């Protein structure tokens, strides 16, 4: 198999029918906040126990094709001493890695950010590939507010995303390109549509300019939603319709798949929105998921840091993953939320 064919095969496998990606790439401060929410102190041991609970859930590979890891995790081992990338491969789940170093204030643009991490990225990607990573992720943060996002912010982040993607392809890793338009704010769904369209236009122009083969990458975008503080919250069908319209207008057909982020949506809404889009169908890409909190939250709550809750937590994750697997084909129903746990 040629180099390009390997990358295309990996990208296709990540969005295989019925499957999506588990985002478990929380930084140390972020996972500390999540563990604090259940009264658990964040230590290397507690973080390792929690992540092992997630990754070793029975039959998780039925609905999860890959998981995005944080630097700490890709260098760590399971309790049996096997390095996580090797263990995940054995479980039928492809290991990936978050490679950006976070969104930082954008000079000359109050209230806006640019994601950093390009310095030394080629060498880091080579190391991560040798550790067993098969794909990578880089997130740009786009905030909607008074007079923002600016073209300056959108262009700067698109350029960084494309540079990252080009380096990933060079090093044999499938890049997941994540331009996230945040749902924080009182903006309407129409405003989200316009900003998402502007962001996508610039991202794909930059990818084209930097010679990134679209067949070898995946897009991880926001859905087109009402802002969390908007008085009128768009319904599930409207979100699905507006999201597909935006992406049909601005995302090339050469892309194999779109793995939506949940972006602060509830578990149920993230699943319902994905399901509604797949029920509409008629698009050239696989519509999948790359959820973090929207997959993990039920398991985290069920676990509560207690060894006796391990099995219940894994059941909660398996159930949530199966519901999103059903949403991949538009076959999810609200009744499924409770019937498997009854």
Residues with a catalytic annotation lie at 178, 220
Backbone angles phi, psi at 21, to 5 degrees: -115, 135
Instruction: DSSP for 55-115, please give it.
Output: HT-TTGGGTEEEEEE-HHHHT-B-TTS-BHHHHHHHTT-EEEEE----EEEPTT-TT-EEE
Treating both helix axes as pointing N-terminal to C-terminal, what angle do 121-131 and 151-170 enclose, rounded to 10 degrees? 50
CB 190 within 8 A of CB 234: no
Give every CB contact of residue 335 below 8 A, 6+ residues apart in sequence: none
Pairing mode of beta strands 257-260, 286-291: parallel
* SS3 of residue 246 by DSSP: helix
């Amino acid at each position: 198999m040629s180099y390009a064919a390997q990358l295309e095969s990996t990208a296709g496998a990540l969005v295989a029918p019925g499957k999506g990606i588990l985002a478990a790439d929380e930084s140390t401060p972020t996972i500390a906040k999540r563990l604090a929410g259940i009264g658990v102190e964040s230590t290397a041991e507690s973080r390792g126990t929690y992540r092992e609970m997630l990754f070793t859930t029975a039959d998780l590979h039925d609905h999860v094709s890959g998981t995005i890891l944080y630097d700490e995790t890709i260098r760590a081992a399971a309790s049996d001493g096997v390095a996580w990338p090797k263990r995940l491969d054995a479980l039928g789940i492809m290991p990936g890695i978050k490679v950006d170093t976070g969104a930082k204030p954008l000079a000359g643009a109050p209230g806006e950010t640019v994601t950093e991490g390009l310095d030394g990225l080629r060498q880091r990607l080579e190391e991560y590939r040798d550790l067993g990573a098969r794909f990578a992720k880089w997130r740009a943060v786009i905030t909607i507010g008074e007079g923002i996002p600016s073209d300056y912010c959108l262009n700067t982040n698109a350029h960084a995303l494309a540079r990252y993607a080009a380096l990933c392809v060079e090093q044999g890793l499938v890049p997941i390109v994540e331009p996230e338009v945040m749902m924080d704010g009182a903006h309407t769904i129409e405003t989200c549509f316009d900003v998402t369209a502007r962001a996508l236009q610039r991202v794909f122009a930059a990818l084209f300019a930097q010679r990134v083969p679209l067949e070898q990458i995946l897009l991880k975008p926001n859905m087109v939603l009402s802002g969390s503080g908007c008085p009128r919250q768009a319904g599930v069908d409207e979100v699905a319709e507006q999201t597909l319209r935006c992406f049909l207008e601005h995302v090339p057909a050469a892309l194999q798949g779109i793995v939506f982020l949940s972006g602060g949506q509830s578990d149920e809404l993230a699943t319902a929105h994905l399901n509604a889009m797949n029920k509409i169908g008629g698009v050239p890409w696989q519509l999948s998921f790359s959820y973090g909190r929207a997959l993990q939250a039920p398991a985290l709550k069920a676990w509560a840091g207690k060894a006796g809750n391990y099995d219940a937590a894994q059941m909660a994750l398996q159930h949530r993953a199966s519901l999103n697997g059903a949403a991949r084909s538009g076959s999810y129903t609200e009744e499924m939320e409770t019937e498997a746990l009854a």
